Structure 1
Amino acid sequence: MAAHARRLCHVAFHVPAGQRLARDLRRLFGFQPLAVREAEGWRQLALRSGDAVFLVNEGAGPRQPLYGLDPRHEVPSATNLCFDVADAGAAARALVARGCSVPVPPVSVKDAQGTATYAVANSPAGNLSLTLVERAGFRGPFLPGFQSVPSAAGPGWVSHVDHLTLACTPGSSPTLMRWFRHCLGFRHLPLSPGEDPEVGLEVTAGSGRGGLKLTALQSPPGSAVPTLVLAETLPGASSGQDQVEQFLARHRGPGLQHVGLYTPNIVEATEGVAVAGGQLLAPPEAYYQQPGKERQILAAGHEPSLLARWGILLDGEDGKFLLQVFTKSLFPEDTFFLELIQRQGATGFGQGNIRALWQSVQEEQAARDQEARRWGLGSASCPGAQGRLELRNTCKGLE
């Protein structure tokens, strides 16, 4: 049998000491500190919004961070998905039997609030590792070895993780899909009627501009693991790199590109993030002027001008709608971003919205490239969500 996961425990990140990810998650996105551990050169801070938990591992200790691996990756990124399992020992043995690498065999951690057992396996998706944790005997808010952090109630913008998207090298999606099916029991989730799992959903971005290939996977019935989406570039782009290719280049390989956070009220959440200073991707100006778009937004019960003000995308029909908004990268290296998503009966990911996101990211990249050329720098010299602002400030200081 495969090592079936029951639910997502947390998403872990590896960043240098002093990197501002934890601060931004709290200040810009409403996450609240949950628990902390400082030992052996590591500062590990867990933050929560609803059922979504992010673990930020800062530093580079002589030993592995608790519940994860130190990938010694070249740039900050999301490095680990931690899943709850019924039996960590049995799950690890199942993975080994399927030829998987388990660099951290089952180990138990105990404190005054109980015991948890975990193992860490390598995945075929770049630097992304998978932690399988058994914590039925633990009574604390997070995991043994961590101290609880008193905090006020958050704004409640996010309720849980909706999906996890991996950026993959071209042609690798079928192999990854088979690995997650064989080792963790995931199943193909069609995004279009009659979809071939080996082909996935192809979303073209226009003549000569390439597009995306998406393959969605879901966990077995009875589990609460978010949908896993594999994204790779379609051939056909006339020039330059698209956002998946940019991720692969700047991340130095495949990995977790973004996390979709579910919100029960995307207008309130987006406004809160924007007012707090969060940077959001603006859809193309023509998005809200598409024929039928205003009627579609009204049919979903929303105000077109309000969605346009905050850059919220809407797609769907027959009473089933999907609303999305995307942040800019949380790292200067352009290696991770967040998505806020609200579903009104829709279960897919909105082909029209994917095209709009594609265009907006490409326009953002073009603007960065233009700014770089203005100062005589390569585009890699000004990556990230704050690329243009930081470049302007840096260059002003040199004048």
Structure 2
Amino acid sequence: MPDISSNAMDDNPTLAHVEFYVRDAAVTAAELRRKYGFGIVATAGTAGSGTDRYSLALRQGNITLIATQGEVAEAYVERHGDGVADIAFRVGDVRSAFTAAVRAGARAVRRPGDSGRGDAATAVFGDVTHTLLSRDKSLPPDFSAVRPEYEVRGAGLQELDHFAVCAEAGELGGLVDFWQRAFGFRSVFREYISVGDQGMNSEVVQSAGGDTTFTIIEPDPQARSGQIDAFLTAHRGVGIQHVALNTRNIVATLDRLSGEGVQTLDVPDSYYDSLPDRVTVSEYPAHSLRKFGILADEDHNGRLFQVFTRSVHPRRTFFFEVLQRCGAETFGSNNIKALYSAVESERLLSAAETWQ
């Protein structure tokens, strides 16, 4: 475990909610309800034109997401489009947690007591903030609970597994250091991922309680530009590329999601043809993985099953990952390489057939 500065708070932060800044909160909430099975549990503000803030909070399992529109979201949406703008933590003492974050390099956004709500907020990277709530809160105090408008069927989504952060080259170390010093996170995994002539550095930091994980990726400036560079250009800076949601049965979950119109990335047949050479899968039949485009990987602790939704963001800068951990603790880097090789093999085969 890395050395933690004395700036770190003396109690462990736990994940409270994730807030998206969007152009239309009602449309975003409707999408999360219909396609992903979330239910609206609380609201804040009003939907009237020109209001400072209108928010809808949605929940499924232990996952709480907020969609917010209004003046508070306008600058973010104008620069980045809809996306993750705030990751909120519950802490034992808001004031001491705020002080620790600022000492570690965060910019003060809302100081304790400024709003009269008892919370605080700091800017962390890019335009993403951390709201700090007292331990007994999962939402800011101005939210009012609502009765569900319909029976929430859900899709089997249980927890938020991790956030994927795309950083500029050279920024990874500073972000790791910040979360360690400010919130007592620990570095749990690091690697260099090489895919063809593309390359990226990756490091994973995790809260002491294990409920909040950031996978930080920065491009290798010596390698050819790839998807991380494309994200940084389209997003106009560092940000959250995707949010990974955990399920106990990924096949059942994908059956539900696909039935509601959620599309996932195409996976070539050659990926599944070679899968038995890489992973011994006992949890699901091969045809189920192939049907839903589910990728499989394994480490020394077990297997990981994952799928990436097709981005519907106008800039293609945000998507969801759905995953199931069967003991595995890593994040599927072997799948990146295997999928790249499979796609390249099919491309070469297609080119050869064209010239025959």
TM range, normalised to the smaller chain?
Answer: 0.7 to 0.9
Q: Residue 113 of structure 2: SS of its match in structure 1?
A: strand
- Once residues 159 and 78 of structure 2 are traced to their aligned partners in structure 1, the CA distance between those partners, rounded to angstroms, is 27
Letter matched to residue 118 of structure 1: D
Give the match for residue 144 of structure 2: 147
Among candidates 302, 307, 313, match of residue 284 of structure 2: 302
| 1:9-48 alignment, distance < 5 Å | 9-17=16-24, 20-39=27-46, 40-48=51-59
Question: Displacement of 1:295 after TM fit?
Answer: 6.5
User: 1:51-90 CA deviation, whole Å, 9 max, x = no partner?
Assistant: 1111111122xxx47xxx9646512211110011011011
Deviates more, 1:328-337 or 1:163-172: 328-337
Q: Residue 329 of structure 2: SS of its match in structure 1?
A: coil
Is 1:283 the counterpart of 2:273? The answer is: no
- Once residues 311 and 72 of structure 1 are traced to their aligned partners in structure 2, the CA distance between those partners, rounded to angstroms, is 31
- Once residues 300 and 285 of structure 2 are traced to their aligned partners in structure 1, the CA distance between those partners, rounded to angstroms, is 18
Letter matched to residue 268 of structure 1: A
Question: Displacement of 1:358 after TM fit?
Answer: 5.6
Contact 1:315 1:321 survives alignment (8 Å): yes
Contact 2:304 2:326 survives alignment (8 Å): yes
Question: Displacement of 1:212 after TM fit?
Answer: 3.1
- Once residues 80 and 358 of structure 1 are traced to their aligned partners in structure 2, the CA distance between those partners, rounded to angstroms, is 32
Is the alpha carbon distance of 1:6 and 1:295 closer, same or farther for their aligned partners in structure 2, counting shifts above 3 Å? closer
Deviates more, 1:33-42 or 1:159-168: 33-42
Give the match for residue 89 of structure 1: 95
Q: Residue 278 of structure 1: SS of its match in structure 2?
A: coil
Is 1:49 the counterpart of 2:52? The answer is: no
- Once residues 340 and 240 of structure 2 are traced to their aligned partners in structure 1, the CA distance between those partners, rounded to angstroms, is 17
For the aligned residue pairs, the C-alpha RMSD in angstroms reads 2.7
In structure 2, list runs of 5 or more residues that go unmatched: 1-6, 348-356
| 1:196-235 alignment, distance < 5 Å | 200-206=190-196, 208=197, 210-220=198-208, 223-235=209-221
Question: Displacement of 1:129 after TM fit?
Answer: 0.8
Contact 1:12 1:56 survives alignment (8 Å): yes
Question: Displacement of 1:28 after TM fit?
Answer: 1.0
Contact 1:294 1:304 survives alignment (8 Å): no
- Once residues 327 and 270 of structure 2 are traced to their aligned partners in structure 1, the CA distance between those partners, rounded to angstroms, is 26
- Once residues 31 and 107 of structure 2 are traced to their aligned partners in structure 1, the CA distance between those partners, rounded to angstroms, is 34
Question: Displacement of 1:145 after TM fit?
Answer: 1.5
Letter matched to residue 37 of structure 1: A
In structure 1, list runs of 5 or more residues that go unmatched: 111-115, 191-199, 367-399
Q: How many residues align?
A: 332
Contact 2:279 2:296 survives alignment (8 Å): no
User: 1:337-361 CA deviation, whole Å, 9 max, x = no partner?
Assistant: 1000101111001222122566799
Is the alpha carbon distance of 1:317 and 1:153 closer, same or farther for their aligned partners in structure 2, counting shifts above 3 Å? same
Contact 2:25 2:56 survives alignment (8 Å): no
Question: Displacement of 1:17 after TM fit?
Answer: 3.0
Contact 1:13 1:78 survives alignment (8 Å): yes
- Once residues 362 and 79 of structure 1 are traced to their aligned partners in structure 2, the CA distance between those partners, rounded to angstroms, is 35
- Once residues 166 and 159 of structure 1 are traced to their aligned partners in structure 2, the CA distance between those partners, rounded to angstroms, is 21
Is the alpha carbon distance of 1:267 and 1:346 closer, same or farther for their aligned partners in structure 2, counting shifts above 3 Å? same
Give the match for residue 118 of structure 2: 117
Is the alpha carbon distance of 1:97 and 1:213 closer, same or farther for their aligned partners in structure 2, counting shifts above 3 Å? closer
TM-score, with length taken from structure 2 = 0.85
